[in-house]
Every structure is written in structure tokens, then in C-alpha cells.
Amino acid sequence: MPLLWLRVALVFYGLGLVYALLALARKAESLAKVTMPALWLGLTFHFVSLAELTLEQGHLTPSTVHHSESLLAFLIAAVFLAFWVKYKTVSPGIFVFPLVFMLTLAASIGQQPQEFTSPLLRKGWIFVHVTLIFLGYAALFLSFVASMLYLVQERRLKSKNMGKWLRLPPLQVIDEIGYRSLLLGFPFMTLGLIAGAIVAQEQFGAGFFRDPKIALSIMVWVIYMVLLFTRWTAGWRGRRAAFLSTFAFIAAVGTWAANYLSGTHRFLGP
Amino acid sequence: MTFILIGVNHNSAPVEVRERLAIPESRLAEAITRLAHFPGVEEGMILSTCNRVELIANIADSSVDLRGFLREYFETDTDSLAGHLYEYREQEAMRHIFRVAASLDSMIVGEPQVLGQVKAAYAVACGVGALHSQLHALISRAFAVAKRVRTETAIGSSAVSVASAAVDLATQIFGSLAGKHIYLVGAGKMSELAARHLIAGGAEAIFVANRTHARALVLAEKFQGTAIHFEELYETADRADIVITSTGSPCAIFRREHGERFLHRRKNRPMFFIDIAVPRDVDPEMNKVDGIFVYDIDDLQAVVSANVASREREAARAHEIIEAELQRFITRLQTQEVAPTIISLQEHLENIRQAELDRARGRLGKLTPEQESAVEALTRGIINKVLHTPITALKNAAGDAESNTVIDHVRRIFNLNPRNITSGRLNSGNSESQGLGAKSPDSKSGTAKRIPMGRPRDKQEEPLREEEKKATPS
């Protein structure tokens, strides 16, 4: 059943994806009205799917790679929706929808992936860790999207050619979205890392810092701290912040991919 | 008589070229005087606005080249302008000036400022005595045409001003304008208009700096803003989110290093410079500073591309009005050409008639009133019959290339006085219609038999009419 609901959600996200593609081809107007309701519906079904999965396995922590992809997609879509409620701008969707769709697609392909068998997953702390980190990722992804949009809009304003496709939000609004999502994501990531550190300390001892995924995570965290700090003190924003944020995002993707190199994050049974 | 017009406008030349040719208000009178004294030029006027620099003249013979004047006046070679300069003669020149005054040639079609600018140029030209019958009549007509276009089409109402384009851009940058600060540098009409639009969009405090502090004070009071001494400009400009510049400064006021300093002090919050001045007040390099967006008058044009459809329809109607008015004006000019001859022909025959009547009266003895009127009718009838053919011939010849030959033949056959200037100096500037009336026989001398008129204008022209004086430069 959870898989069915997930696939229903996928259809709705697909609508958003079509919107994103059409927006690039300047034909998005016709779909603009249905995109956000589709996202609402997609999120609802996605939530049902996640809830059923949790009930089935008896604990909250994702137990497969697919499950964690599904959770991440859900959180990204939710954060995007939250910003839409505040700023009423669909533009980040051109990045958000493809990612959410891809993650959900990967999660809904029926093939049974490797299961995390580690008894570690039954612990409450690990759920806190994963969820917080994922929330952090979701918010930071949105911040990255805002950076991209900022660069596009800034380029348009500078070159005095506003372009016909996709009317972007005002520059300062994009900047604010980027900053707010940074503000939102940073605490999650910080707390997530702390939670992770506690678990790892208990499980692997002091050596866990040497794990590549953990090292990368800490680097991402440092970049984000620098981002916020320079903004507060020197007023770094705009292009410089956008480049830094892009860099941080790439590092974050690296962190996500580093699962396969990491001894601590494979969650395989002994 | 030939009208000639050369110039550059926002379509033909980029702002870099236009600012090279721009003539500041303070030097316009002198420039027009020099144009009027340029060899072969009988009357002249110069229109210099941020979107166009145009020279219009009434020249003695068609070999006169106003490029020579440009070379002389700007001490520049006109080859570099070749691709940008346009030249119109006769009908094309008339049509063009009608279109300019009616705001059909404007960057933002239908914007109302250009008529005021033409009026201002006209007032200056009148003031230095550079306008006489022909050009005077043409420009006056252009005003009437502009008025007609404005009242009979919706072109003015749908005009998107530079100001609203500026507001649109500011919104693209800042989102809401609420609480944004505006800085007016230079107290021009256009910048005032832009500020008004921005305030309507929610912008807040206004600072005004002007070289003449008194004007800054006046404008600041109008917006309940703060007047700032020009010397404090660089210390205060970073307070503004939107800076509108419109000074007559010949070189840039804001340069890149200023922008970098402002942004540093503002902690990189973006700034938007709207540069309405020509020559530009903001160095284009400034646009390269992170967080600063500079739009000059040409850039604003690009933004105003929307709303074109409805304006085009109205512009087509305006075009029809202009063509009709142009034909009317040309017809009037042409009849004006033959009118003096017709009048002196009529006067000549009337004199003969009167003389013959006087001589015959003695022999006729006392006539009854009925007889008197019969004689009157008889003599008049004969004259009119005789005159009918030559007058028709003259009227038909009007505007033709041979009109001068016909006029000369008629004059010789009827032994009329050679075309002279006995009726005295032209009454240029007296009234709009007089220049077109049939009362200035001298104005119509053909090129072949032109009697040198010298240059009896300059100082001794009658003073400006009141309304001309009131036409304020914008």
C-alpha cells in the first residue's frame, strides 16, 4: 500500500515537473493554477505513504535507501510549500519539482533495495538525527535554488534584458527566500549533526570524525556558518553569497553520495 | 524656400552619440543664432532634448548642407555620425516636425513632454530672431497639429511614461517599494515625474540635491522631503535605494568608485540608479558593481515595450491626422507663393478701373444710382473676366516647379512692379496666421530672382509674445 500512495504522489509531482519544464519553454501560464494544488495533493499522499511505512516497520527511521529518498523528497516539497505560502512564488519550483520527482521516482521503483539491517536504526536518536539532517538538506536545497534564481534575475537586470520566459520574483524577494531558508536549515543541520555525534560517539567512539561522510558534513556545516556570518557582519549577499551557497550545496550532494564510502552510515547489520 | 531637417534621435543613435551632440539649455540661444547666420540659412531652430538633437532650417537654396554647421559648431567630423544622422527635406521635414511635436516620434509614443520641449526651443529661436514667416508658420502649425492629435486620439492617455517604466524596474529589484528611499539629483521635470510615480508605488523618504540649492528646497518641499547641499551628495547618496539623476552636468557625477563606496556603506543592499540625463550622469561602468543597477534613458526604452499594440492603433490614427494637416499646410504654403502676385494683379486692374471711371465720369455726367451701380457692375465684370484666366493659371502653377516662370510672365505682361520688398520687413512672430497670409510678398521671392534680403533680423525683431515667454523649458 505505501508504494501505491507514493506512486499517486509521484503523479502529482509529475504535474509540477511538467510545469517546471514548460516554464523553461515559456508556456507555463496554463499550468500555473494547478501546480500548487497538485503539490498539496502530492504531499498528502506522500505523507500517507510514509505514515503507513512507519506503521508497517514499527519504527520511524527509514529502513531502506528508497525510504530515505522518499522522506527527503517529502521534506523538500514541504519546505518549498512553506515558502510558497509566505512569498507566493512558484519560481523555485523549476528546480524543486525535478528533484522531488526524481527522488520520489527512485523511491517508488518497486525493486527491493538493500535494507538497513543495523540494530542502530531502532534507536530514537538516529531518527532525530536523520530527520533533522534531511530537513536541513531540504532547506539548504531551497537556498541553493534561490541562489540560482538570484543569479539569473541579477543577470537579467544587469543586461537590461528581462527575458520573456518565466517572470521571476523581485531580486530582493529571491534574496530573502535564500536567506530565510538558510536561517531555517542551519539550526536543523546543527542539531542533526549534534544528534548524530552523540549516537556515533556512543557507537563508534571518538574516531568517528575520520569517517569521510562525517568530515564532509562538517565541512558543509562550516560553509553554511560562513555564509550566515558574512551576511550578518559584512552584508555579503547577492552574487558572492550565491556562489558560496552553490558551493555548499555541491558539498552537501557529495555528503549524500558519500554513504557508500562511509563506514558509519551503511547501517548494515554485523 | 526649402525646409531642411537633420538630426539624431533615440532610434538613430545610441545615447553615446546623442550626448556628444546635446546642446545644453544655457547655450541653446547662442547655437540657434549661429545656425541662423550659417551661410544659406534663412531661418533656423534647434531642438535638443535627451532623446533627440534636431536642426531645422529654412534654406535659401537646396545646396546648403547643415552637416557643415555641425562640423563647425561641434568641431567634430560628421563622418563618425554618418550612420546616425538623418536628413529630411521639404515635405519630409515638415512631416517629421509634426510627428515630433505630436509625440509620435518619441521614445515613449504619446508622452507629453516633447511638445513642451519643442515650444521651449521655439521660444528661444523667436527670442534670438531666428524665425521668420516660413519656419515660424511651420512650427506654429506643428503645435496645432499636436493639439489636434492629443484631443482626437487616445495616444496621450495610453502613453507609458519613462516614469512608470522606472517604477516597474524598481519593483523588479526591490519587490515592494514600501519604505524605500529616493534620491533626486538634479531637479528636472522628468525626475520629478519619476519620483511622483515611485511615491505612488509606496516609496518613502525623498532627498533632493541640486546645484542651485534653492530649487532643491522647492522640490523637497513639494515632496515633503529633505533638501541636501550638492557638496554633501557623496556622503549622503548611500541612504537612497533609488537614485534618479537628471543634471545638466557635462561629465558623469557618479563613477564606479562612488558606487563601490556606497555599497560598502550600505552593507551591499542593492541600489538602483535611474539616469535620465543626457549626457549621462552615471558612468556606465557603475553597472558592473555588484548590487548596483544602472538604467539610462535608452535602457528604459527597452522596458517600455509592453502596451505597444493599443498605442500603435492610436498612432495610426494620429498619422492620418498628420498627413491631412501636412497637405493643408503645403497647400497654404503654395497659395502663399502666388498670392502676392494675384493680389497685386487685382490691385493693378482695380487701379486702372478706378482711373478710367474717374476719367469717364465727366463725360457721363450725373448718373442715377441705378446707372451708377450698372457702370460699377459692368467695369468689375470686365476686370473679373480678364483676370479669371491669369489667376487660374497662377493658382494652378502654385507648387509647380515652373511657378516662378508663370509668376514672372504674368508680372511682365501686366507690367506689375518687380517683386519687391516694399511692404517692409516680415511680420514674423506677430501671429501664427500672419506668416501664412498673403501679406508678405517678399517672402516668396523665387530663388532665381532673389533680392538679397540681408539679415534684417537679429535684434530689431519685435519682442516675444507673452505665451511664448511662458513656454518654459523642460
Task: Compute chain B's Rg from CA coordinates.
Answer: 29
Cβ-Cβ contacts under 8 Å, A161 against chain B: 302
The pLDDT score that the predictor gives to residue B432 is 38
Which SS3 state, helix, strand or coil, does residue B333 take? helix
**CB neighbour class for B157 (10 Å; exposed up to 12, middle 13-18, buried from 19):** exposed
Measured between beta carbons, the chain A residues lying within 8 angstroms of B295 are 160
User: What ranges do the domains of chain B cover?
Assistant: 1-160+307-342+410-415+424-474, 162-303
Is there a contact between B435 and B137 (Cβ–Cβ < 8 Å)?
Answer: yes
Please list the active-site residues of B: 50
Q: Residue B412: how many CB atoms within 10 A of its CB? A: 10
Q: Would you say B19 and B93 are in contact if contact means Cβ atoms under 8 Å apart? A: no
SS (HEC) of B349-405:
HHHHHHHHHHHHHHHHCCCCHHHHHHHHHHHHHHHHHHHHHHHHHHHHHCCCCCHHH
Nearest Cβ partner of B295 from A160, A171, A239?
Answer: A160
Q: Which CATH number fits domain B1-160+307-342+410-415+424-474: 1.10.357.10, 3.30.460.30, 3.30.465.10, 3.90.580.10?
A: 3.30.460.30
pLDDT in the model for residue A244: 83
Q: How many CB atoms lie within 10 A of CB A168?
A: 22
pLDDT-based confidence at residue A29 (cuts at 50, 70, 90): low
User: Min CA distance, A99 vs chain B (Å)?
Assistant: 27
* CATH of the domain spanning B162-303: 3.40.50.720
Closest partner CB to B291 (pick from A169, A170, A238): A238
Mean pLDDT of A73-77: 87
Which residues on A lie below 8 Å from B302 (Cβ)?
160-161
Chains A, B: CB pairs < 8 Å: 46
CA distance A214 to B105: 67
The three-class DSSP label of residue B137 is: helix
User: For position B459, what pLDDT does the model report?
Assistant: 38
C-alpha cell recorded at residue A134:
534531511
> B305 to chain A nearest CA, in Å?
11
Cβ atoms B98, B142 nearer than 8 A:
yes
Spatial contact of A33 and A59, defined as CB atoms under 8 Å apart: no
Domain segments of chain A: what residues? Answer: 1-115, 124-270
Per-residue pLDDT tens, chain B, 474 aa: give them.
688 999 998 888 888 888 888 888 888 899 999 998 888 888 999 999 888 999 999 888 778 888 888 888 888 777 778 788 899 988 889 999 999 998 888 876 777 778 888 999 999 999 998 888 888 889 999 999 998 888 777 666 544 556 777 887 888 889 888 889 999 998 777 778 788 878 877 888 789 999 889 888 988 888 888 999 999 999 999 999 999 998 888 889 999 999 999 988 988 889 999 988 878 899 999 998 888 999 988 787 666 655 555 567 777 888 888 899 888 888 888 777 788 888 888 888 899 999 988 888 888 888 888 988 898 899 999 989 988 888 888 887 776 667 778 888 888 888 877 654 333 333 333 333 333 434 344 444 433 333 344 334 333 333 433 433 333 333
Note whether B173 contacts A157, CB cutoff 8 Å: yes
ipTM of the complex, rounded to two decimals: 0.74
Instruction: Find the residue in B nearest to A163 (Cα).
Output: B303
Q: Supply the DSSP string of B97-122, one letter for each residue.
A: HHHHHTTSSSSSTT-THHHHHHHHHH
pLDDT of residue A114 exceeding 50: yes
Phi, psi (deg, nearest 5) at residue B217: -60, -45
- Exposure of B304 by Cβ count < 10 A (0-12 exposed, 13-18 middle, 19+ buried)? buried
- Is it true that the peptide bond before B279 is cis, omega within 30 degrees of 0? yes
**How would DSSP label each residue in B55-97?**
EEEEESSTT--HHHHHHHHHT--GGGGTTT-EEEEHHHHHHHH
Which residues contact residue B373 at a Cβ distance below 8 angstroms, ignoring those fewer than 6 apart?
Answer: none
CA distance B260 to chain A (A): 13
Q: Strand B52-59 relative to strand B41-48: parallel, antiparallel, unpaired? A: antiparallel
Q: Which of B59, B100, B17 is nearest to B69 (CA)?
A: B59
Angle at A263 between CA A261 and CA A264, to 5 degrees: 120
Minimal Cα–Cα distance from A184 to chain B, Å?
21
Asked if B279 and B251 touch (Cβ cutoff 8 Å), the reply is yes
- B156: three-class secondary structure by DSSP: coil
Residue A111: the pLDDT is 56
Check residue B237 and report its DSSP letter: G
Mutate: best of B267, B292, B296, partner A, most A CBs <10 A: B267
Query: What are the C-alpha distances in Å from A154 to residues A149, A169, A238, B2, B293?
Result: 8, 11, 8, 52, 9
Read off the pLDDT band of A67 (50, 70, 90). Answer: confident
- Are A170 and B266 in contact (CB < 8 Å)? no
Q: Which residue of A has its CA nearest to B169?
A: A157
DSSP 8-state symbol, B465: P
What's the rounded Cα separation, in Å, for the pair A217 and B246?
53
- pLDDT of B96: 92
Residue entry with cell 493599443: B310
- pLDDT tens digits along A248-264: 888 888 887 776 655 55
Grid cell in block for residue B327: 497637405
The residue written with cell numbers 515537473 in the block is A17
Q: Which residue of A has its CA nearest to B298?
A: A160
Give A32-39 contacts, CB < 8 A, sequence gap 24+. A32/A90, A35/A90, A35/A93, A36/A81, A36/A84, A36/A90, A38/A12, A38/A13, A39/A12, A39/A13, A39/A77, A39/A80, A39/A81, A39/A84
Tell me the whole-structure pTM to 2 decimals: 0.58
